[in-house]
Amino acid sequence: MSIPLCTLVTANFYMNEATRPFDDCYRNMLKVLDIPCYMVIYLNEPLYILVKRYRDERGLGPMTHYIVMELQHLATYAYKDTIETNRAAYWPTADARAGIESHLITCNKFSFVLQAMENNVFGTQKFAWLDANVGRDGRKISRDGFTCEDFLRMLYKCMDDQDDRLRLQIMGVCDKKYKEEKWRREYYERYRWLVCGCFFILGMGAKDILQALWAEFIKDTNAGYGHGEEMLYLRVLDDYYDRILKGYGDYRDIVHNVVNCNGSLGYIYDHIICKYRDHGYHRECYDCCRWVLRSLDNYQVVDYGYYCKILFQLYVSSYYHKHEETKLWAETFARYVKQNPLFRKEYEKNKEFIDTQLGFVGVQVE
């Protein structure tokens, strides 16, 4: 398989045995190091020797650029004292595994990628971020682990994305009231799983989205909050809505779901589609349903139970978001009931309610 014209950026720093033992720190990134692609790796000295040897032994040395640095040279390190003060006063999501150093590295990923884009040592138009700690066989981002071929196929599917787009995976839904300053303290009272910050990919023209995420880190840190990078996306997801390409699913669905839906329909329906609906976020619900249905229509995933549920939710969300399409989706639903016995079986489980709802646009199931 040829090499995609994409620079993969990652980082790994050994801090101390209490945060993560050295052997775990190294072993958990081996799956990333196996990937035969252009790679920029930020790391400190103890790891550099082993990582370089590993990539060299696999013939990947010429495709790898190393930036060896210490924690105090991170862009986020300028906020270390502020974060310590914040956490002394307000750290409701306190976790011994997420110390100051870990937080600084995690939130520095936007700066890492921006720097890699600026230097562009491999002359690529696309850049991706991948957390180094993907675990054994990459199971943090793929339920059964992933092969290098799996990962490269995923990258190739993103190569035709427009240059000013950023692609990532939506993991959950959060009340948009938390975008307002007055609700920010409550927002950070617990960790709210919003996106899978482990992986994203973008073109050179999407630098401004990363700069906006970096600005969110600074803004919330200076306001006294901030306990992880995924929560920084809440305002950015709306501000750049049409330029963020979204996959949907849990962390362990990333490799297979970040571009097309290849499974986990139950998770997507229960934790994303239904929550969009319940919050009244009809645009987001509509887009998620369309994304899933493309794969169902192409038989990438076959599940008539969820096909029926999601097509109905598409009809409902279109009623509020794209009303001119509402009757089309109602008629599509009625046609599927008529033509597909397996779809009809699912429809009959909730026939009375569905008939009532389709009746609002004058569509009747035969």
Distance CA 343, CA 105 (A): 48
Please give the model's pTM, rounded to 2 decimal places.
0.94
Is 280 part of a structural domain of the chain? no
Q: What is the DSSP letter of 4?
A: P
- Domains identified in the chain, total number: 2
User: Residues 302, 246: one domain?
Assistant: no
Is 334 part of a structural domain of the chain? yes
Please tell me the predicted confidence (pLDDT) of residue 18: 65
Please tell me the predicted confidence (pLDDT) of residue 21: 84
The residue-averaged pLDDT of 176-191 equals 95
Closest C-alpha among 347, 342, 328 to residue 299: 342
Please tell me the predicted confidence (pLDDT) of residue 297: 86
Closest C-alpha among 138, 145, 161 to residue 6: 161
User: Residues 254, 296: one domain?
Assistant: no
Q: Rounded to the nearest 10 degrees, what angle do helices 207-222 and 109-119 cross at?
A: 150
Residue 322 exposure: Cα atoms within 13 Å on the Cβ side: 15
| Direct distance between the N- and C-terminal alpha carbons of the chain, in angstroms, rounded to an integer | 50
Under a CB-based contact definition with an 8 Å cutoff, are residues 133 and 251 in contact? no
The residue-averaged pLDDT of 317-334 equals 97
User: Residues 182, 307: one domain?
Assistant: no
User: Residues 97, 212: one domain?
Assistant: yes
User: Residues 297, 250: one domain?
Assistant: no
The residue-averaged pLDDT of 256-276 equals 96
Is 66 part of a structural domain of the chain? yes
- Domain containing 242: what range? 6-259
220 — pLDDT class (breaks 50, 70, 90): very high
Please tell me the predicted confidence (pLDDT) of residue 1: 65
237 — pLDDT class (breaks 50, 70, 90): very high
Q: What is the DSSP letter of 159?
A: T
User: Residues 109, 198: one domain?
Assistant: yes
The residue-averaged pLDDT of 187-206 equals 96
Q: Which CATH number do you get for residue 75?
A: 3.90.550
Q: Name the one residue in this structure whose structure tokens are 């549920």.
A: 309
Please tell me the predicted confidence (pLDDT) of residue 98: 76
Mean pLDDT in the chain? 95
Number of other CB atoms surrounding residue 245 within 10 Å: 19
User: Residues 171, 311: one domain?
Assistant: no
37-93 pLDDT, tens digit each: 999 999 999 999 999 999 999 999 999 999 999 999 999 999 999 999 999 999 888
Is 49 part of a structural domain of the chain? yes
Domain boundary among 207, 235, 259: 259
Is 105 part of a structural domain of the chain? yes
